[in-house]
Structure 1
Amino acid sequence: MENQSLSRSRKNLKTATMVKVSLLGAISFVFMALEFTIPIFPAFLKFDISDIPSLIAGFALGPIAGVIVQFIKNIMNVAIMGTTTGGVGELSNFVIGSSFVATAALIYKHHKGIKSAIIACICGTLVMTILGVFSNYFVMLPLYSKFIPMDKIVQMGSVVNPAIKDTFTLVLYGIAPFNIFKGLSISFLTMLIYKKISILLKR
């Protein structure tokens, strides 16, 4: 009887977690649709706050939950909004976002507290930025160039920063600073609201 009760409790806990993760994924998708450009970065780099629900999920429910939120967000975006890049943009968003969230959540999982959360977010931002440099240079931009010529992509960067002259400088002076800015911004905004929302998620 006790084993049945324990099994039922675990099943209910898993179901509740799935519901929370799904809800955060849907919220993340809505936030993703509210993207906008920032004049100091290339026009194809859109800023949004869709990583906030994912980071909250990672901190409150674990790294895997955070990554699943990223997955749900991008799948919903392709299914509902469609894609103009054959899914390359969504793939890049998933890879970069997941590296940020998974790193931060993994560190926070083993060391709780505000100081640890700050360190976790900084580490997540660094991992996201480094991975963004390599993934964009070797994979994402070459794939992206099949839909938009590379010279036009580089031109979008040179418009806001004359130092951008080719793919390498685009990644170094355009994409890397953008990921740093985004990571720190998402981290700051998450810190402002995490405590109140985490109470609801952990019930």
Structure 2
Amino acid sequence: MSKNLFAKKRTFTTSSLVKISILSVLSFLMMFIQTPLMFFPEFLKLDVADVPAVIGGFALGPLAGVVIQLVKNLLHFAFKTSTGGVGELANFMIGSTFVLVSSAIYHLNKTKKNAVIGCIVATFAMALVGGITNYYILIPFYSRFYPIEAIVAMSSAVNKYIVDLNTLIIYGIVPFNIIKGSVISIITIALYKRVRILIRK
């Protein structure tokens, strides 16, 4: 039988749907726990809401992890949104990148080494997608309410290397996502073996 990482037969059983639902709600709740970081503008705050999706991707497959990301952002859009869904779309794209890359690599060979490699590659993939998403989607959207110059000035106040939109992406968005991906990776690797037992029961 061919091993298909995205096989619906393995992902969407009743048991898996229950687990996906629980992880989605947990991920949604974790979105409200945010921490500002030094040297980064105020609108960039660290959260670890992607961890349940990554764990779900490791345990149930990449597609399950993406579904968790989707449900998380749909819930956030329904209960608390001020961006007309643009923020949720960007969050889904960036978070799903991490989940897809990390869990796909892990499922090639389910070892701790592959989990670490998957998280490392996923961190840089998320940083790349985060930069592109902010450049073409998020920042243009916010510029409708705040001039790009104001956003750059806010960022420059905490990081002197940010002087325009391009440097905001290079010295703000990309490093922030690398830090976020690293934190998510550390927590996932630390928790996965313990949580995996509960998920697979």
Task: Report the 3-state secondary structure (helix = DSSP H, G, I; strand = E; otherwise coil) of the residue aligned with 2:157.
Answer: helix
**In 2: Cα distance, 1:131 partner to 1:53 partner:** 20
- Residue of structure 2 in register with 1:15 after alignment: 14
Partner of 1:75: 74
Tell me which residue corresponds to 1:109: 107
What is the match of residue 6 of structure 2? none
Q: 1:159 aligns with which of 151, 157, 160?
A: 157
Size of the alignment, in residue pairs?
Answer: 192
- Where does 1:47-58 land on structure 2 (aligned, <5 Å)? 47-58=46-57
Q: Distance in 1 between matches of 2:92 and 2:154?
A: 23
Does the CA-based 8 Å contact 2:126-2:177 persist in structure 1? yes
Letter in 2 for 1:153: I
SS in 1 for 2:145: coil
Structure number with bigger Rg? 1
- The correspondence for 2:142, drawn from 141, 144, 147, is 144
1:82-101 per-position Cα deviation (integer Å, ceiling 9, x unaligned): x2222221111110000011
Task: Quote the residue 1:134 is aligned against.
Answer: 132
Separation in structure 2 between the aligned mates of residue 149 and residue 25 of structure 1, nearest angstrom: 35
Q: Which ranges of 4 or more aligned residues in structure 1 deviate by more than 2 Å?
A: none
1:26 paired residue number:
25
Contact 2:31/2:48, CA 8 A, preserved across alignment: yes
Q: Is the 8 A contact 1:85 1:147 kept in 2?
A: no
CA deviations 1:92-115 (Å, max 9, x no partner) are: 111000001110001111121111
Q: 2 CA distance for matches of 1:123 and 1:20? A: 26
Question: What amino acid maps onto 2:16 in structure 1?
Answer: T
Separation in 2, partners of 1:154, 1:86:
22
Q: Can you list the C-alpha shifts for 1:98-144, whole angstroms capped at 9, x where unaligned?
A: 00111000111112111111100011011111111222212321122
Q: Give TM-score, length-normalised by structure 1.
A: 0.90
Check if 1:99 corresponds to 2:97.
Answer: yes
Q: C-alpha separation between the residues in 2 aligned to 1:119 and 1:53?
A: 18
Letter in 1 for 2:124: L
Within 2, Cα distance between the matches of 1:40 and 1:79?
32
Offset of 1:165 from its aligned partner?
0.7
Paired residue type of 2:22:
L
CA contact (8 A) 1:47 1:182 kept: yes
Q: Is the 8 A contact 1:104 1:124 kept in 2?
A: yes
Deviation at 1:35, TM superposition (A): 1.4
Look up the match of 1:65: 64
Counterpart of 2:39 in structure 1 is 40
Paired residues of 1:60 and 1:198 also in contact (CA < 8 A): yes
Deviation readout 1:29-78 (Å, 9 max, x if unpaired): 11001112112211111111101101000100010111111111111111
Report the secondary structure of 1:105's partner residue.
helix
Match of 2:5 in 1: none
Deviation at 1:163, TM superposition (A): 0.9
2:118 equivalent in structure 1: 120
Give 1:173's match in structure 2, choosing from 171, 176, 189. Answer: 171
